[in-house]
Structure 1
């Protein structure tokens, strides 16, 4: 029973193994971490279209829940810049400026996201994010980073626009700057905050975000810039802890919230799984991706029911916790407690915080999302994957985060199918001095068996390539230097077959037989044979048409037709 509890609640295992020497590290790391949790939580709440206090709620509850159910000992969860444009894209048009409706919509998205992740974890679907290739992930995240950056520029320069998509927003921003709508005092505060945050990134232990935000807040408060210079500031923050609340939504909003929640789940788990695996490798531990989905899902579900919004792992706060010496999830618990104490005891600390400074925090995080160096490497080694990545970026930038992730998934499916749709195939022959049979295009001197075509197909057989397989076999026969009596398919690379390809194969066999050509298979895997048996094709061909090795198939052909040909 204890083992079962530890499987489902990894935090129990951590408590059983907890060493007293770790406590000092976890408390110290939690204090350091809390210096980032407050400004970042507030910034991402505003960037997501909900009031600031809910960013702190979405920080406290998920950290506590993940400490119990999350498998990673060091991962820090909370509001994230990569989710902000997705949340904003749903919240902004549906809330119509009503902050209470905005948080209800955002909380409902968190509930949907949490439920999706938990179900995926229970059904062991943790592998699904691996279907998104690295170039596609880069393209999507670059698009998200660009969308986040553009969405924060109006706040950075102290004006507002009606959002209509990242690229169109960029044109509106340019026009507003030309028309003189910028508040240059706010812009100075924002740009100064951004410069300090970026400069401080090279010093891992220095709380650059906290220092930059405090300086901006002090300047805005001392000089009363909200009144004297028209700088937009955060204003009073409500006092109190999150309460259990069911996020009621309008029936007409359900579909949009469902789509947004699923999109958030995909992005959140993709980010979390990559970050979790990275830190697991550093600590020489293993993280179960399905339990990771459950932990992330439970944290989102709790955030949704305690006045929060969708959350993910943080690639900026996790390194801070690690650098500060975090040993276990207790670091997140300490950070959450400090944030809770702060909003109970001193909520007015944030009232002079300039919105331009919050925009700078989000922009700094967005800049960290961009990936260019590895894309340059991909361009050098595989240009079509580079351009696929660029297409994903353009898709997000042109159409927004939610349509962008749909585009990324479509590209991923196309990429996944492409190699199987148009796979490599070859005719094989014997090369002197090398064992086995080899591609005659690579070895033009290879000797072919008179009257026999050794054909290799390097992919599963399925509906999309069934006709191509038949055409390729006929092309191989037509290109044979001698009249063909038999063709042997080297089927070791064929990992699967479906009904469509099986029926197409039956038609090919009939066509070949009509022309006096026999079709045999060699080295076919047993699971593929089992499928052919279910489809009825194996029985029609007979056991004798399937050879365990290519060598035995060649030997039988030489004997059946008394062909004088030496293997060696």
Structure 2
């Protein structure tokens, strides 16, 4: 997997790899930015400043573009860029995650803003800001309630599939800018068809495309030279070429032009009573999508740097950034799958990169609105495409294919889901696949009849140790999963199958219950039915090594009293010894 560019000599690691596990006091827990400053090393400053400058060249056009896509005036996209980056630097646990306006949120925001604002820009801003406040509050409450564990539903193959799909979607989304035209987006695959059709019909601006391709080639070529700041060099050269040869006027190459002026101010978004239900629903939807997207991206980049990110603090950081955006004339924001890899590739070490980028955007708004006026959109597309290429994960997927074929295809399905239906639907597909993956292992788990092999301690699966000794009349049965509603009937059937396949009549069956971590009402009732069925055949049902919490549940369900304490043994050995003693007696 590609790592960051511009490593600074013999620097020490940014933080211990167990960051997030060590308690460093309440202030550092709630404000990770302060903890980062205590560990900050001076050699990192150059990397963060250079990366911040490079990042700022994307923040302005992207902020403007996503503001328009969200149904609010362009300047508010810059407001939704500046404030969240500064706030996340204090509250966010990730080293280099970049937050801001995002394509996955734009359709949700627009879907609420457009019908309620009736074309009034002021109302549109108030509605979008209120949605950010709702989303922020939801994320903060969820983080404080320790609900970040839900991110653990996404396995590594599914995260790879989602990120590969996002990378592909981001790359496709930049092709119209690279070719110098625009299309109405209908999903990555359909967009690719529309792009090909537009190119075939002669819509491409080839001088701009050539400049964009040259910019991309230069970035990829210079990327190996870690101290050259490949992206910054390429962007500066593209801007100089476009301005020097006046490509905008002479060849119609699209350039950024001057940005609007004015800094964000604190403002309370006042709403009409009729807006509340839509804003609440939209804000909650934004919170779910933003956190799902952020958790995947955060964990991906944390894995690259060998650190651990606390998902609960990630919720708080994302929530604080959204809350601040809402109170400072912004709109809902999320992590960026295109700007984060740009920061990484430019050599970012810490969240100082985002702060530098935010300050440069603010400076541009106030003092230099014409600074980026000659920056070609094709060059910006090249920067994003180069970053998207860095998001793809193929090598580890190859390893997964070799060792667990079905998980590889699970990842591919997730990639296709994102590529065909877009990021929002892709998140839903990823979560559904994760739940199915989890349930499958519990629904149809491994089970075994146990025996005692010569020269090996303990009791083991007789299919692996065919010569293992068994006790006539006693069947040791192991079930390798929790007992719950989806597998309760299967458990009963597998027990009966094991009894039927036994080489001698079974008088007692002992469930080696150590792998059983939970039971529910359905499975408890099913055990009662199984016990009655076995009793009718003269077979006694017993348990060994049942965990205390599970035993407590059986006690609440009434099964402990119904079965009797004598049928529960602390170990398999004691269960076997008891049966042998009973048989002798």
Q: Give TM-score scaled by structure 2 length.
A: 0.85
Please, which of 158, 166, 190 is the counterpart of residue 180 of structure 2?
A: 158
* Whole-angstrom CA distance in 2 between matches of 1:394 and 1:105: 34
Deviations 1:278-307 (CA, angstroms, capped at 9, x unpaired): 5464xxxx7544223312321232234332
Distance 1:275 1:240, change over 3 A: same
Gaps of 5+ in 1: 564-568
Matches within 5 A, 1:250-399: 255=281, 258-276=284-302, 278-279=304-305, 281=307, 288-306=310-328, 307=330, 309-312=332-335, 315-316=340-341, 319=344, 323=347, 332-399=354-421
Q: CA deviation at 1:330?
A: 5.0
Please, which of 487, 496, 516 is the counterpart of residue 509 of structure 2?
A: 487
Q: State the partner residue of 2:559.
A: 537
* Whole-angstrom CA distance in 1 between matches of 2:113 and 2:247: 29
Is residue 551 from structure 1 mapped to residue 550 from structure 2 by the alignment?
A: no
What SS is found at the alignment partner of 1:350? Answer: coil
* Whole-angstrom CA distance in 1 between matches of 2:468 and 2:554: 32
Q: CA deviation at 1:470?
A: 0.3
CA contact (8 A) 1:269 1:296 kept: no
Matches within 5 A, 1:167-178: 167-178=189-200
Is residue 511 from structure 1 mapped to residue 533 from structure 2 by the alignment?
A: yes
Q: CA deviation at 1:445?
A: 1.1
What SS is found at the alignment partner of 2:538? Answer: coil
Deviations 1:91-138 (CA, angstroms, capped at 9, x unpaired): 566777979588777656644543343222101122221210010011
Q: State the partner residue of 2:96.
A: 75
Distance 1:162 1:330, change over 3 A: closer
Q: CA deviation at 1:155?
A: 1.7
Distance 1:362 1:71, change over 3 A: closer
Q: CA deviation at 1:90?
A: 3.5
Is residue 471 from structure 1 mapped to residue 471 from structure 2 by the alignment?
A: no
Deviations 1:17-46 (CA, angstroms, capped at 9, x unpaired): 478xx5x54653443132212112134335
Q: CA deviation at 1:4?
A: 3.8
Q: State the partner residue of 1:501.
A: 523
Q: CA RMSD, aligned part only? A: 2.9
* Whole-angstrom CA distance in 2 between matches of 1:124 and 1:76: 21
Q: State the partner residue of 1:566.
A: none
Deviations 1:506-561 (CA, angstroms, capped at 9, x unpaired): 11101111111110000101000000000111110010000011111111111212
* Whole-angstrom CA distance in 2 between matches of 1:187 and 1:48: 22
Q: State the partner residue of 2:46.
A: 28
* Whole-angstrom CA distance in 2 between matches of 1:145 and 1:247: 35
* Whole-angstrom CA distance in 1 between matches of 2:232 and 2:270: 35
Larger mean CA deviation between 395-404 and 495-504 belongs to: 395-404
Q: CA deviation at 1:269?
A: 2.4
* Whole-angstrom CA distance in 1 between matches of 2:74 and 2:50: 21
What SS is found at the alignment partner of 2:451? Answer: strand
* Whole-angstrom CA distance in 1 between matches of 2:427 and 2:309: 26
Q: State the partner residue of 2:88.
A: 66
Is residue 42 from structure 1 mapped to residue 60 from structure 2 by the alignment?
A: yes
Q: State the partner residue of 1:561.
A: 583
Gaps of 5+ in 2: 1-23
Distance 1:240 1:30, change over 3 A: farther
Distance 1:539 1:416, change over 3 A: same
Q: CA deviation at 1:454?
A: 0.6
CA contact (8 A) 2:52 2:353 kept: no
* Whole-angstrom CA distance in 1 between matches of 2:400 and 2:345: 30
Larger mean CA deviation between 104-113 and 544-553 belongs to: 104-113
CA contact (8 A) 1:43 1:52 kept: no
Matches within 5 A, 1:419-434: 419-434=441-456
What SS is found at the alignment partner of 2:515? Answer: coil
Q: Give TM-score scaled by structure 1 length.
A: 0.88
Is residue 212 from structure 1 mapped to residue 230 from structure 2 by the alignment?
A: no
